[in-house]
Structure 1
Amino acid sequence: MSTNPLKTLGQLGQSVWYDNIHRDMLERGDLARLVSEDDLRGVTSNPTIFDKAISGGDTYDRAIADLLRDEPSLSSAELFNHLAIADIQAAADVLFPVYERTDGVDGMVSMEVSPELAHDTEGTVAEARRLWAWMDRPNVMVKVPATAAGVPAIETLIAEGVNVNVTLLFSLDRYREVVDAYLAGLQQRARRGEAVAGVRSVASFFVSRVDSAVDPLLDDSHAELRGAAAIANARCAYAHFQDVFDGSRFDDLRALGAREQRLLWASTGTKNPDYSDVLYVEALIGDRTVNTLPPATYDAYKDHGDPRARIQDGMDQAAAVLERIERAGIDLAEITATLERDGVQAFLDSYTNLLRSLDEKAKALAA
């Protein structure tokens, strides 16, 4: 095994992706260095990440000025798409050798549809098609939120051969719906005689936010359950992944060359300072999974991670842990529904702030 804990994760079957993108890291060669040194295999982005990147300094000002000189009528939303897609394409080009080396499993870069469309199925499909064509790279994914409106959009996009990163997954019930949508989309392609082997998807299952919501509701008589909900929830999702993709239900599609929709652990930065800063990485190391790490967690794991395949540890007890939490008077369905709504709103707030900042920058540069 490698002495670099991040590299060892890859040897254990878990792909490390980076939950961050910024033009500086592309232009300075930082992304290429992470690929070379740490076996980094992908990049994810979201409206909050782009808000911090574009609004937080003057790195993008020259590109903004150039775009507006050529197309002065660009809206703030279109201006954002031009900037973001240039970054996505550049990152995808850096990661293309990873895509080739892993036969298309990794080397992916993800960009999200506008959070304004989170509850609009047709709007999400139209926007995803547009972004997919505009990015024009085989190793990109369009991120679609796992809302009630997002699930049918996922099926449609998979059926059309669009790579999809399903995001904002919190509940096991919604995860089951997402897996069903993925399979249904592939089955549509198969019935039409279209290839299923090249379609890629991940299901981004959010972790630490579940503990942040559950822990404060557990009284001292249930103190031993604090810090347990998120990992148990994720392990139950992984059990469903294994049931479906290692079972007979996937046999026909597997025979046609279809790949599993891997689980991607998102929100793996530790928010409770009483917990290990690598808690949600260590506990969920498992074969055919992805962990997308924010920069602080990435650096912490490289420094003192102890990689070992642990996802099966306590797998038999995971459902029982969730049942005990329910018996303690905590409605997990209500909590995960709230987390989904809050997640959509947080991305929408970031997106709104980003557009406002771009509008201000455009006016200042014009002046």
Structure 2
Amino acid sequence: MENKVKQIHNFGQSIWLDFIDRQIISSGNLQKLIDEDGIRGVTSNPAIFEKAISSSDDYNDDITAFGKEAGTTEDIFFNLAIKDIQAAADLFDPLYNEGVVGADGYVSLEVSPFLALDAEKTAKQAEELWKKVDRKNVMIKIPGTKPGLQAIRETISKGINVNVTLLFGLERYEEVTEAYISGLEDHLAAGHNIEHISSVASFFLSRIDVVVDPLLKEKGADDLVGEVAVASAKKAYEIYKRVFSTDRWKALEAKGAKPQRLLWASTGSKNPDFKDTKYVEALIGPDTVDTVPLETIEAFRDHGIAADTLMLGLDQATETLGRLKSLGIDLDKITQDLEDEGIEKFNKPFEKLLKAIEDQQAKG
């Protein structure tokens, strides 16, 4: 019987692994995930790298070597990360070049979270990282903050692939699609072709429910517990279908533009009462990506159910979000708070990561 994770691809969704370290690459386990589970990409973030670098000796020699030539601790980190990202990108190169070139096979590297509210520095660093990694199948991750919108447009306008991260709210998501489309128009207007540019918009799921569910219980709306994140994602997919079918979009598509796919992130269940594959199962559908932690991939391989679920219950999703309003729960405020908190959640591990590199240097 076909591997359950692989079955998801039959419904037009790509599964990417939300994890990277040297061990998974050098041991052949990442290649195994590609071959057996049909994994089609990798995403990383500061928290993932912090775990990788502080919990293993695999990076010690490089920290010493890079320490001799790199300027700051942050430079050393990016040199370490770029080495991993290049190795992973090379593994995914055959996938990137398969069938429709550039449909999949991407590896994502994030700009410094310290820059999340500085458009100019974010765009500058995105370009620097892109040039240093020097792989077509890399995406530079830029947070979808208000200042991030300008950086996204600018980065796309330079012909660089972007993974927009940290999206929680529908309004902000629509602004991100606008930044992507404008960036493509800018690149085209500057006389370049756009068919090589690819982008995803990463919509975070389980964290929404973590905040909303206790409020629902307080108000006696227990039937909505665990439903809000999925309802939001389904509404985001409606926006995606609308935005990428306009005449404005069709003009770009005629020049070879690819739609900016929605990517479901934060898909591990944080509530032990929920099925551990809940967020993956609820949102399987065409032209989307799901980035999944290793343990959730293993859980899905064991007992997940692959079915075309994304377009089911759209009316119910509208109703769920409508009921939140009538219960006096302000989802816009919650998603803004989550975005602010999300920046903090990446700053902390990044600080910890830089400290771990410094400690290692002191030992070295």
Same fold flag (TM > 0.5): yes
Instruction: Report deviation, 1:220.
Output: 5.4
State the SS of the aligned residue for 2:221.
Answer: helix
- Residue 95 (structure 2) aligned to one of 73, 79, 98: 98
* 2:79 is the alignment partner of 1:82: yes
CA distance in 1 between counterparts of 2:194 and 2:315 reads 33
Instruction: Report deviation, 1:77.
Output: 0.6
CA distance in 1 between counterparts of 2:19 and 2:66 reads 24
User: Deviation per CA, 1:33-65, whole angstroms, max 9, x where unpaired?
Assistant: 111111110000000000000011212112222
CA distance in 2 between counterparts of 1:66 and 1:210 reads 42
Partner of 1:206: 204
User: Deviation per CA, 1:183-234, whole angstroms, max 9, x where unpaired?
Assistant: 1011112222311111000000001111111000013521111111000000
Q: Which amino acid aligns with 2:90?
A: D
Percent identity of paired positions between Structure 1 and Structure 2 = 46
State the SS of the aligned residue for 1:144.
Answer: strand
CA distance in 1 between counterparts of 2:221 and 2:257 reads 44
Partner of 1:233: 232
Runs of 4+ in 1 over 4 A off after TM superposition: none
User: Deviation per CA, 1:306-361, whole angstroms, max 9, x where unpaired?
Assistant: 10010111112212210101211111011000100111001000100000110010
Q: Which amino acid aligns with 1:97?
A: P
User: Deviation per CA, 1:250-304, whole angstroms, max 9, x where unpaired?
Assistant: 1101111100100000000000111110000000001000000011111101111
* 2:331 is the alignment partner of 1:332: yes
Instruction: Report deviation, 1:236.
Output: 0.3
Partner of 2:177: 179
State the SS of the aligned residue for 2:334.
Answer: helix
State the SS of the aligned residue for 1:25.
Answer: helix
Partner of 2:117: 119
CA distance in 1 between counterparts of 2:52 and 2:46 reads 10
User: Deviation per CA, 1:134-192, whole angstroms, max 9, x where unpaired?
Assistant: 00000000000000110011001111101000000000000000000001011112222
Are 2:201 and 2:261, in contact at CA under 8 Å, matched by a contact in 1?
Answer: yes
Structure 1 residues 1-367: aligned runs within 5 Å: 3-68=2-67, 70-71=68-69, 74-101=71-98, 102-218=100-216, 219=218, 221-365=220-364
Give the alignment's Cα RMSD to 1 decimal.
Answer: 1.1
CA distance in 2 between counterparts of 1:268 and 1:353 reads 24
Are 2:219 and 2:327, in contact at CA under 8 Å, matched by a contact in 1?
Answer: no
CA distance in 2 between counterparts of 1:181 and 1:171 reads 15
Question: Structure 2 stretches of 5 or more lacking a match?
Answer: none
State the SS of the aligned residue for 1:167.
Answer: strand
State the SS of the aligned residue for 1:59.
Answer: coil
User: Deviation per CA, 1:112-147, whole angstroms, max 9, x where unpaired?
Assistant: 000000000000011001000000000000000000
Aligned length: 362
CA distance in 2 between counterparts of 1:325 and 1:149 reads 28
Q: Which one is further off, 259-268 or 325-334?
A: 325-334
CA distance in 2 between counterparts of 1:166 and 1:174 reads 11
Q: Which amino acid aligns with 1:78?
A: D
Q: Which amino acid aligns with 2:255?
A: L
State the SS of the aligned residue for 1:149.
Answer: helix
State the SS of the aligned residue for 2:220.
Answer: helix
Question: Structure 1 stretches of 5 or more lacking a match?
Answer: none
Q: TM-score, normalised by structure 2?
A: 0.98
